[in-house]
Amino acid sequence: MVLMQGNEAIAYAALDAGVRFFAGYPITPSTELAEIMSVELPKRGGKFLQMEDEIASLAACIGASLTGVKAMTATSGPGFSLMQENLGYAYMTEVPCVIVNVMRGGPSTGVPTGPAQADVMQARWGTHGDHPAIALCPSSVLDCYSLTARAINLAEKYRMPTLLIPDEIIGHMREDVTLPEHVEVVDREPPHVPPEWYYPYDDTGCEATPLAPFGAGFRFHATGLTHDRAGFATSVPAEIDRCIRNLMRKTIKFRRDIILVEHEHLQDAEVVVAAYGISARAAQAATATARARGYRVGFINLKTVWPFCFKLIAKVAETAHAIIVPEMNFGQLVREVERAACGKTEVVSLTRVDGEPIVPRQIVDAVTHHATPGGGS
């Protein structure tokens, strides 16, 4: 058992999961990640680069990843905005890497040291065009460790950028944690064919096409343009369609492997609270308090926010009288809950945007307003 900060847990999980390249630009509240990686990476044979800005940071990570190295960067809201063009390039070129966005208040420079959860939709739709997205959201220091390792493994397995989006409180809080003795490590699939048979963007039907590192003797062309299976730009409609559908297939076909949620007391819940990040901590405490008072309340911790768990929410909507969604924003993920519920139950948005976290009392008040003791209708 160790006393560890959330950002510290992210850094050490990345190292344990095999990250050997980090390029970043210091920005509150993610700076601890860069500080730790600058010290620890050289000890493990890795490389650390402090870049001139966040645009260059992700560009360097993409280049490092294409050589076969597991790569990561970290930032916060303004820096994440700057990364969007290169993030789109990484999606299109199917380059595995991990981007950590420790969410703070916004827009613009906002509240540099204050928490928020307002980058959730940016994590899904920040860059332009149709593309897949994987975004994980920890709600504890132990989550910071385990979900970082998971994000790195998903990036390598599905050959795509993966996002970790803790809020500032989770990034800076310290907790006693017992780290696992062993960390599952997934390495990207290498080509199993001779160089002359290799196509870097072939549709194999598996999680992702094997990725040959630059310089290994395999012909490889990477472009942000829609491309054929060899990686060269194309304007042929059938090839454009195949390119985009192959990208989207990853989070559609394999969503059951990607989505991770935890839940409690759904079997008898009259009201369900669905939350993520620090708000999930308040929601879990509020659920326990409300149940002790005789209210039938369930709890969902959305550790994967993208892809969204539509099937679980749709199932809950069949029986619950209301789903409450506490968020430190004006209501972002609640729109996905509404879409999944399809009008079958009331969806309640509980928001806070003053730089302070939602507290259990606020959620308990919402629960008691929408439920009755003992679960009576």
Question: For every one of its 377 residues, what pLDDT tens digit does the chain have, with 9 covering 90 and above?
Answer: 899 999 999 999 999 999 999 999 999 999 999 999 999 999 999 999 999 999 999 999 999 999 999 999 999 999 999 999 999 999 999 999 999 999 999 999 999 999 999 999 999 999 999 999 999 999 999 999 999 999 999 999 999 999 999 999 999 999 999 999 999 999 999 999 999 999 999 988 788 999 999 999 998 899 999 999 999 999 999 999 999 999 999 999 999 999 999 999 999 999 999 999 999 999 999 999 999 999 999 999 999 999 999 999 999 999 999 999 999 999 999 999 999 999 999 999 999 999 999 999 999 999 999 988 875 44
- The full set of domain ranges for the chain reads 1-258, 262-375
CA distances from 70 to 63, 90, 97, 289, 339 (A): 11, 14, 7, 43, 36
Query: Which residues, at least 6 apart from 319, have a Cβ–Cβ distance to it below 8 Å?
Result: 269
Q: Top-level CATH class of 1-258?
A: alpha beta
Are 30 and 76 in contact by the 8 Å Cβ rule? The answer is: yes
Range 272-295 burial, b when 16+ CB lie within 10 A, else e: bbbbbbbbbbbbbbbbbbbbeeeb
What is the CATH architecture assignment of 262-375? 3-Layer(aba) Sandwich (3.40)
How high is the pLDDT of residue 206? 82
CA distances from 196 to 83, 205, 217, 220 (A): 35, 21, 9, 11
How high is the pLDDT of residue 377? 40
Percent helix, strand and coil across the chain, each rounded to 5?
40, 20, 40
How high is the pLDDT of residue 204? 80
How high is the pLDDT of residue 373? 82
Same fold, 1-258 and 262-375: yes
Distance CA 17, CA 151 (A): 10
How high is the pLDDT of residue 203? 84
How high is the pLDDT of residue 184? 94
